[in-house]
Amino acid sequence: MKKFVSFWTFVFALIMVSTVFAEDMIKEQSLRHSFKELTRSTEWKKESEVDLNFDVFHPQGMTKIGDKYFMSSVEIEERPKKYAQKKNGYDRSAGKGTGHLFVFNGKGELLKDIELGEGDIYHPGGIDFDGENIWVPVAEYRPDSKSIVYKIDAETFNVSKEFRVDDHIGGIVHNDQTGKLLGVSWGSRQYYEWNIKGKELKTLMNSSHFIDYQDCEYLEKSKMICSGIAGLNRPSTEKSYELGGLALVDTKTLAAEHEVPLAEFSSQQHVITRNPVFLNMRNKEIRLFAVPDDDKEASLLIYEAKTR
């Protein structure tokens, strides 16, 4: 009898896991198709705003797992200073800081603060979830520098250093279809591809100059959605205009398949794709989660867009 009950318990659990997996695949497929219907005139409506009850410092990447949010951030203690001439290949000093991976709930309450980095390597980038682990690159806060790629168990929060890279890696994506990892450099001007052990497989210059990618998430069929910003000069003012945008990128060719500008701004006048962004589907609406502002005044902004 016990074996019989155990067997059907196992079957039931397997059905539940398969059902959740299938639902996630359908949602990702729907998001991929709906994303291609976004245009410059798409109306984004703010659904809600959640105050975050902790100092977020300078957020970088975000993903949502169930009712929990995972968000990388850099706590800057001393800003890097530009050199008049390059020193040892660097155009600026290292500065000082601490890398964080915050875990918080839908009420904006901090559940966990995981510190990441070592020495001059303290600046986390865009993150991705592979179904079990969060992948986080942490780099020096300067171009052409060094990085460590971390893997954090989403359940236990166990942290492991996976490999090092001789460049600033500003974002990472796990290809769930091939098991390979894709990274972007400072300003996302160059792509890197590694196997799961960190062996470099190829590099390629980014052919798109629309925006600099800040955060990317993997979709099914070797696609990823990237969000970011470009600072554009404005006449008669020193303050640049923040052009925000989203891009659907093919991880095989590394070409952008669909790009769309986004011009929604936060209370601190930052475009909402400036920092971490996460997208998903609810019914026929694309939902966008963003934390564009810094420090203790930051909020989680949730927008919706209808594409049909």
Which domain CATH number covers 204?
Answer: 2.115.10
Q: What is the pLDDT of residues 225-240, one digit of tens each?
A: 999 999 999 887 778 9
Q: What is the pLDDT of residue 27?
A: 53
- What integer best gives the mean pLDDT of the chain? 92
Residues above pLDDT 70, as percent of the chain: 90
Q: What is the pLDDT of residues 83-131, one digit of tens each?
A: 999 999 999 999 999 999 999 999 999 999 999 999 999 999 999 999 9
| Res 78 pLDDT > 80 | yes
> What integer pLDDT is reported at residue 26 of this predicted model?
46
Q: What is the pLDDT of residue 53?
A: 97
For position 2, what pLDDT does the model report?
A: 52
Check: CB of residue 201 under 8 Å from CB of residue 210. Answer: no
What are the φ/ψ torsions at residue 21 (nearest 5 degrees)?
-60, -45
Domain extent for 22: 2-306
The answer to whether 102 and 58 have CB atoms below 8 angstroms apart is no
Q: Mean pLDDT throughout 247-251? A: 97
What tokens were used for 184?
A: 């972007």
Q: How many domains does the chain have?
A: 1
pLDDT at residue 308 is higher than 80: no
pTM for the structure as a whole: 0.90
Does residue 9 carry a pLDDT above 60? no
CB 138 within 8 A of CB 116: yes
**What would the two tokens of residue 223 be?**
């696609």
For residue 131 the two structure tokens come to 């179904």
CB-based contact 124:114 (threshold 8 Å):
no
